[in-house]
Structures are given as C-alpha cells and as structure tokens.
Structure 1
Amino acid sequence: MSNQEIVEIMDIPFNKLTENELLQQHLYPRINANKRTYIVTANPEIVMQTRVDAIYKKSVKSADYIIPDGAGIVKASKILGNPIEERVTGFDLMFKLLSYAEKHNLSCYFLGAQQEANDRAVSRVRNSYPGIRIAGSHHGYFNNDEEIAKQVAAAKPDLIFVAMGFPRQENFIAAHLHLFEKGVFMGVGGVFDILAGEVKRAPRAWIKLNLEWLYRLIKQPFRWKRILKAFEFMFRIMIRK
C-alpha cells in the first residue's frame, strides 16, 4: 500500500480506498489467491481505545486493511489535509462479501453475539443468499479462545465474520490468525444483532446526514459514554490541526 493510499489518524493508518477499489482491486483478488486477510472496521471510538490500550493498538495495526467505518474518521482526514474520499462501513462491506461468496461458492463462518441472535442472523443470511455455504457458527460468550479458534480453523472457511465488539473481536482475530491457512477476517461489531432483528440500524437518511451516532444514542441511551469518546476524538483532531 503506497503512502498516497494511507492517512495516519492518531497513529492509526487508514486506507483511503473507496469500497469498490477495496473490493475489486484488493479483497476479491486476495480471496481468489487464498491469502489470509485481516480487516479492521475502525470508528473514532476504536481509535480512542488504541490510545489507552497498547495490546489493542497492536491488534489493530496488525491488520492488512483499516477502513474508515465512521463519519468522524472521514471528517478527521479532511481536517488533517489528507482526505478520505468515502466512508466504507463494515455493515455494507459484509453484505458485498456475502454476495461474492454466494456467487463463487465460498464458505462463511459467523462467530459472535448470543446464541439466539447468532442463529437468527445465520438464518437470515441463508434466506437472503440461498446458494451460500455456511462453514459454521458459534456464539460469542466463551472463555476458551484458543479452543474456539481451532474449531473455526478446522472448518476452513473463506470468510470469517466476528461479532464480539471491540476490543475483543480484533484482539481475538490478531491472536489466532496464525492458525488459519486462508480466509478474510473482519470484526463486525453488532451486525449480527441487526440481522437478528434485535437492534435496528439507522434509516438511510440519517446515515447520509452523518447522524447515525445520534440515532443509536436515542435508541440505546447507555451508549452515551461511547458518544463522548467520539466528541473527544474530534476535539483532539482539531487541537492537533
């Protein structure tokens, strides 16, 4: 990756690729070549966590691609004078990868969320992509990380979606990537809960107005501390500028 395709934001190297460039020029070719690929979908809260957690920062920076999953990241890049052209959300990227998997007979593994939510999420994926291969699934409430990672590796999936929230999902992927011969790994946060119908994603109009954070706060008031971190992130960017 050239320097022109990267912007450093608080020591985190974000890819400036559009979603189409990321998929067509990078991810699809790597999938076809059976290359292990680790993607971090980072927002301002994740960047702020890397400032106080050295292990997590190492896990994030070990990724092959760190994509701007957050309007705050795109705004920060513009303030810093090295603009990212578009936001690339993990939610949308996951569905593009699922569609590709169905068309090319690839297998997927779904790790994370509570058992019931995981089951409903997998069921919805099956309904939406009838031809897709499910390598396996497992809830995210376990303590034996190494054992679960070996179970996932034994299934030999092509795509592994990990929905355990940060910092756990990135730490899990980074710590066990060596067990796999191939596969695209991506932390997807609460996407399984959205698929299961337990959490509603913000309407498209709110997303276009960069107000997804406000919608989440209204629906989930307990997230207020995370929202404060996002404001702190922007404040620090302004001060740095």
Structure 2
Amino acid sequence: MDAVAKIMGIPFPKLTMDQTLQMLSDVVERDGSGLFHVVTGNPEIVMSCQQDTQLRSIIDEAGLLTADGIGIVMVSRMKGGHLPERVTGCDLLFKLLEAGNRKKWSFYLLGADEATSARAAEVIRQTYPNVSIVGRHHGFFSQEEEARIVEDIRSKAPDFLITALGAPRAERWIHKYKSSLNAKIAIGVGGSLDIVAGKVKRAPQIWQRLHAEWLFRLINQPSRWRRQLILPRFAVRALLYRER
C-alpha cells in the first residue's frame, strides 16, 4: 500500500493523529536537525498550488503535510487513496498542548490580534501549567518589525512556533525565515488561537462527528461564505484530476 494519497498531484502522508503526534515528539527529541515545517493542507492550499509554483515548492520542501479538513479525506477515499483521518491544525494544536503539558515543551505564539494573543497565552498557561509560553506576538506587524520578531523567536528557541497568520501567509512566512527562527517545529494553525482564546466557538463534537464543522462555522460566521465557495470547486476539480 502506498504511504501517501495524492490530491491534485500533492502527496498527503497516510498518518493518523496519533502517528503525527509521535512523529513530532520524535522531532522535538532530536538535536540539531533544523526547523521542521508542518503544513496543514486544506482545499484552499491544494487549489492555490495548482497555479502558485512558489507555494507548491514550499509544500514540497515541508517536513510534513497533514490533511486539514474532511474534504481532503473524503476526496482521497473516493479516489482510492484512503487517508485514515483528518489532522487539522486546530486539533493538532490542542493535542500538542496536551502532550507538551506532560513533556514540558515550550511554545511561541505568533498571530491573531493583540487581545486574542494575550488571552490565548493566558488560557494555555492556566490549562496546561507545565507548558512554557516563551514568547508571543500578534499577527498585525509591519515589515519593519519582522526582523525584531524573528530575532525574538531565535533567542527564545521554542520547541514549537505556532503561527496563526492564515494560509498561505503562515506557510510563506515560516519558509522565508526557516533558517533563522531556531525553533524545532513550526506549524501554521489558521485561526486556532481565536478558538483557544474563546473568541470563536469550536463546533460541538456532534457537528465534528458528522463532518459538518464547516457548516457550523458558516452559520456562526456568515462572512466566511466567500471562502466556503472553494469547497465545491475543489471537490469537482480534485475528483476529475488525473493523478500521475
């Protein structure tokens, strides 16, 4: 059986959440291996990669690509790829915090607005007392501020750089500075800090089990409707795409 399932030419490893966590735990335990870039691949990223060669190169160079969203998993199964389950940035972040609380991992938070960033750090410290939040910065920084932010991350040397800048901005930012960040693992988590901070409500478990989390978000955040339009277009194009 192939170790990957291709979606529009992009290879997604067939990893469960538990296998992903084990892989990242092993990376943290290694010394001197350079930054390990985790990309949470959703339909928007897959579609963008069809036209954006730079983004596709970033994906190809990443240490790990996860299936962020039920759309990726369902298309893979309909085409015989059989990805085992989705591994979203939000779910992965919470799992990493749980593991980090046991293993005393350190995190740096980059992204969201200042109030959300501060609240997310506070919630993490209260909920996961053995996790170290070694630094944070909101995501509305100027180009002139970037060098100072990169230096701050470098000096703090976190186990995990959690980047909530939205896709594909987070992926481009991590790739641009990957040789300077001095983090063991960097991962883009979309709007997950909003959920950690309680600014945005996560879909209840029943919605998640029904694979309707996207609908819950749309009902609660109607402004997302333009973004959701990509989902049916992705499904049609991905199903018709002839994998090589």
Task: Give the shorter-chain TM-score range.
Answer: over 0.9
Query: In the alignment, which residue of structure 2 is the partner of 1:85?
Result: 84
Superposition map of 1:211-226 within 5 A:
211-226=212-227
Unaligned 5+ segments in structure 1 are none
Equivalent-residue separation in structure 2 for 1:57 and 1:10 (angstroms): 11
Query: In the alignment, which residue of structure 2 is the partner of 1:107?
Result: 106
Query: In the alignment, which residue of structure 1 is the partner of 2:137?
Result: 138
1:162 equivalenced with 2:160 (yes/no):
no
TM-score by length of 2: 0.92
1:28 equivalenced with 2:29 (yes/no):
no
- Indicate the larger mover: 69-78 or 141-150: 141-150
Query: In the alignment, which residue of structure 2 is the partner of 1:38?
Result: 37
Which of 10, 13, 17 is 1:15 aligned to?
Answer: 13
CA-atom RMSD, angstroms?
1.6
Deviations 1:104-140 (A, max 9, x none): 2221100000000000000000010112111100000
Equivalent-residue separation in structure 2 for 1:190 and 1:23 (angstroms): 20
Deviations 1:43-99 (A, max 9, x none): 112211222322222222221110001000001111221110111122121122112
CA contact (8 A) 1:146 1:176 kept: no
1:58 equivalenced with 2:61 (yes/no):
no
Which amino acid is the alignment partner of residue 82 of structure 2? P
Equivalent-residue separation in structure 1 for 2:192 and 2:63 (angstroms): 21
Which amino acid is the alignment partner of residue 79 of structure 2? L
Deviations 1:167-202 (A, max 9, x none): 111100111111134411110110111112211111
Which amino acid is the alignment partner of residue 84 of structure 1? L
CA contact (8 A) 2:27 2:184 kept: no
Equivalent-residue separation in structure 2 for 1:181 and 1:123 (angstroms): 24
- Identical pairs, percent: 39
Which amino acid is the alignment partner of residue 122 of structure 1? A
Equivalent-residue separation in structure 1 for 2:177 and 2:78 (angstroms): 36
Superposition map of 1:226-241 within 5 A:
226-240=227-241
Shift of 1:214: 0.9
Which amino acid is the alignment partner of residue 17 of structure 2? E
- Indicate the larger mover: 79-88 or 65-74: 79-88
CA contact (8 A) 2:153 2:183 kept: no
Query: In the alignment, which residue of structure 1 is the partner of 2:154?
Result: 153
CA contact (8 A) 2:37 2:187 kept: yes
Query: In the alignment, which residue of structure 2 is the partner of 1:129?
Result: 128
Deviations 1:191-235 (A, max 9, x none): 111112211111111111111111111111121121111110101
Equivalent-residue separation in structure 2 for 1:221 and 1:49 (angstroms): 23
TM-score by length of 1: 0.93
Secondary structure of 1:179's match? coil
Unaligned 5+ segments in structure 2 are none
